[in-house]
Amino acid sequence: MRVVPSVAGIGLRQPHYEAVMAGFEARTLSLPFVEVHSENFFGDGGAALQSLQAVRAHCPVSLHGVGLALGSAAGLDPWHLDRLARLVERIDPVQVSDHACFARVLQGDRVVHAADLLPIAFTPAALDILAANVQRVQDRLRRPIAVENLAAYLAWADDAMPEPEFFNALLRRTGCRLLLDVNNLVVNAFNEGADPVAAACAWVDAIDAPSVAEIHLAGYSEQEAIVIDDHGSRVRAPVWQVYAHAVRRVGPVPTLVEWDTDLPPLAVLLDEAAQADRLACR
């Protein structure tokens, strides 16, 4: 077995702030990084930002956004980008990321935000829009960002290229990195009626391996006719299988255990992170 440093961090949510800080201060907790949702810290002050700055003094922080809407033909929200740039200056994160999705649309003479991660078409036109918006963010932040593949519950009739090919083209054009969400690959495969492990592993094999900056793991739920990427339970067996394949191909890159709903005790999150470390060390 090859030995590598710990690669797995956890999503840091408000109910765990106190326990995480206590562990850092007592030197009983060590994490390679924690990840937070950028938009929760856009204010100029307050308890949330103070807590994040306190954590940052002990541990690297990754900023993961859910609101840039990088694939929007209506463009980026200047206010949102300004606030993100300000947060990056304050925190000096180890990574900045967001999703390959759209949400901002022109409605009459104003732009509205759907408050959701809506899937983009895999077409040359959509690639042009996404690449231009990604480049604008990178120019403003003066650093590459990572773009995450989406859990999508529909496909567009005019899709013209496979999703990995679309991402490879984006990475070449902009120099951005890929945030590889393994759970999303498995969820999409289930909903397409494909073998979840085989289809997700094939997706991983088709991507430019050196471009992967981070991997996300999470739990999903099975509804009556659909599988939902809800981040509300332990990582499932098919996701662990694909993760093991992914780290063999791309190496032990930083890995995040996401858990956003029905938050468990901190010990459960740390146990999931430890499992990711064990697989990365094989």
178-191 confidence digits (pLDDT tens): 999 999 999 999 99
79-95 confidence digits (pLDDT tens): 999 999 999 999 999 99
The answer for residues whose C-beta is within 8 angstroms of residue 54's C-beta and 6 or more apart is 21
**How many Å apart are CA 224 and CA 167, to the nearest integer?**
31
Determine the distance from the C-alpha atom of residue 208 to the mean position of all C-alpha atoms in its chain, rounded to a whole number: 17
Q: Which residue has the tokens 């104003």?
A: 110
174, HSE (Cβ side, Cα atoms, 13 Å): 30
Q: Are 194 and 176 in contact, with CB atoms under 8 Å apart? A: no
Determine the distance from the C-alpha atom of residue 69 to the mean position of all C-alpha atoms in its chain, rounded to a whole number: 13
194-208 confidence digits (pLDDT tens): 999 999 999 999 999
**Domains defined along the chain, listed by start:** 8-280 (3.20.20.150)
Q: Which amino acid is at 180?
A: L
129, HSE (Cβ side, Cα atoms, 13 Å): 20
Beta-strand relationship, 227-228 and 221-222: antiparallel
The pLDDT value given to residue 100: 97
